[in-house]
Amino acid sequence: MKITRVKSILTAPDGITLVVVKVETDQPGLYGLGCATFTQRPSLVARAVDEYLNPLLRGRDPTNVTDLWHMMMNNSYWRNGPVLNNAISGVDMALWDIKGKVANMPLYDLLGGKCREAAMVYRHADGREPQEVLENVIKYQEEGYRAVRIQMGGYGGRVKDIRGTNATPSKSAPQATHRMSAMDRLDSAFPGAYYDADAYARSIPPLFDFVRGKIGFELLLLHDIHERLAPMDAIRMAKELEPYRLFFLEDPLAPDQIEWFRRLRQQSSTPIAMGELHVNAAEWKPLVAEQLIDFIRAHLSAIGGITPALRLAAFCATFGVRTAWHGPGDVSPIGHAANLHLDLACHNFGVQEVIHFGEPLYQVFPGTPELRNGFLWANSKPGIGVDIDEKRAARYPMNFKAVEWTQSRLPDGTLWTP
Q: Note whether 299 and 326 are within 8 A (CB).
A: yes
Q: Note whether 260 and 253 are within 8 A (CB).
A: yes
13, 137, 327, 362, 397 from 393: Cα distances, Å: 7, 33, 21, 11, 8
Q: Note whether 221 and 249 are within 8 A (CB).
A: no
User: Residues 108, 155, 195, 244: which is the catalytic one?
Assistant: 155
226 noted as active-site residue? yes
CA nearest 247: which of 266, 225, 222, 278?
222
* Reduced 3-state DSSP string for the chain: CCEEEEEEEEECCCCCCEEEEEEEECCCCCEEEEECCCCCCHHHHHHHHHHHHHHHHCCCCCCCHHHHHHHHHHHCCCCCCHHHHHHHHHHHHHHHHHHHHHHCCEHHHHCCCCCCCCEEEEEEECCCCHHHHHHHHHHHHHCCCCEEEECCCCCCCCCEECCCCCCCCCCCCCCCCCCCCCCEECCCCCCCEECCHHHHHHHHHHHHHHHHHHHCCCCEEEEECCCCCCHHHHHHHHHHCHHHCCCEEECCCCHHHHHHHHHHHHHCCCCEEECCCCCCHHHHHHHHHCCCCCEECCCHHHHCCHHHHHHHHHHHHHCCCEECCCCCCCCCHHHHHHHHHHHHHCCCECCEECCCCCHHHHHHCCCCCEEECCEEECCCCCECCCCCCHHHHCCCCCCCCCCCCCCEECCCCCECCC
195 noted as active-site residue? no
CA atoms of 416 and 388, how far apart (whole Å): 38
Beta strand 375-377 with 119-125 is antiparallel
Strand partners, 96: none
User: Residues 31, 200, 223, 226: which is the catalytic one?
Assistant: 226
- Catalytic positions are 155, 226
